[in-house]
Structure 1
Amino acid sequence: MDPLIKLQVLDLIKPIHIPLDWLETNQAHIFKSNLPGLQKEDVKVQLEGGVMRISGEFKKDEVGINDKWRCLERPHGPFSRRFRVPENVMLDQMDADMTNGVLTLTIPKVAETKLNVRLIDISEN
């Protein structure tokens, strides 16, 4: 079997994994994913029922009719990544940015409400 054909068959079996970093600060949850070669138009971000989904497709370079790929290691094909969004966030204020192939999702946290503590005097009977 041609090594290239074997490589393509493995791609069909194994989905494309897109790595995801998650940083929690005092103000927000920040998610970053490297999507090299993609533009913002190539990526879809959806939120449904507290689950975030990042999807898109890495396209294979076009080659001439007589050209043959000898090695094809960069990912190509559709991808999808899902994760549950934390509960302490303001989803209506979420920001998405795509710069130099890095998708950054910033979701501000809900401001913590501090309990008012009041000292109660105890009277004597």
Structure 2
Amino acid sequence: MRKNPFEDIEEMLDRVSRQVESGMTSGGLQVPGSVPADVVDTGEEYLVTADLPGYETDDIELTLSEGTLRLEASREDEEASADGRYLRRERTRTSANRRIRLPEPVEEEEVSAGYENGVLTVRLPKVSGGEESRQIDIE
């Protein structure tokens, strides 16, 4: 009996589908050059945690503009040591970036950030709605 020529293609598509599905259920697929990040709404602030292993504080630029947090990191490419040459080189990516749109306005003057052990943490306090009540006149 002849083998179905489309069987290999169907098997490959099933495998790719499982990989995509697996990536979606484990938090999403990682885009090359993108920084993996978590955004938590604590009620009073947004807490952004991003993985940036191998970068120094001076390598990271963090800006907030029009409700979007922009994170960019870049580092100098490391050269091979004088007494050797690369046999395998997988750590060549020298820049990464991420843009995170915030769902509500934040107090831009009170934003703070820290970086420890390759993890960037950004605290973005929400704009507080007026705590005072106001009388509304009816015409």
TM-score with structure 1 length normalisation?
0.68
1:33-112 equivalence runs, <5 A: 33-64=50-81, 67-112=84-129
Tell me how far apart the structure 1 counterparts of residues 42 and 125 of structure 2 sit (CA, whole Å): 9
Normalized per residue, which structure has more strand? 1
Q: Deviations over 1:20-63 (max 9, x none)?
A: 11111021100011111212111000122222211121443321
Contact 1:18 1:34 in 2 (8 A): yes
Normalized per residue, which structure has more helix? 2
Q: Deviations over 1:95-121 (max 9, x none)?
A: 1111111111101122344696xxxxx
Contact 2:69 2:100 in 1 (8 A): yes
Which AA in structure 1 matches 2:53? Answer: P
Matched positions, count:
105
Tell me how far apart the structure 2 counterparts of residues 66 and 99 of structure 1 sit (CA, whole Å): 32
1:18 has 2:17 as partner: no
Percent identical residues? 28
Moved over 6 A (4+): none
Q: CA RMSD in A?
A: 2.6
Relative to 1, partners in 2 of residues 1:19 and 1:86: Cα closer, same or farther, differing over 3 Å? same
Unaligned 5+ runs, structure 1: 1-13, 117-125
Quote the residue 2:17 is aligned against.
none
Relative to 1, partners in 2 of residues 1:34 and 1:68: Cα closer, same or farther, differing over 3 Å? same
Greater length-normalized contact order (CA 8 Å, ≥ 6 residues apart): 1
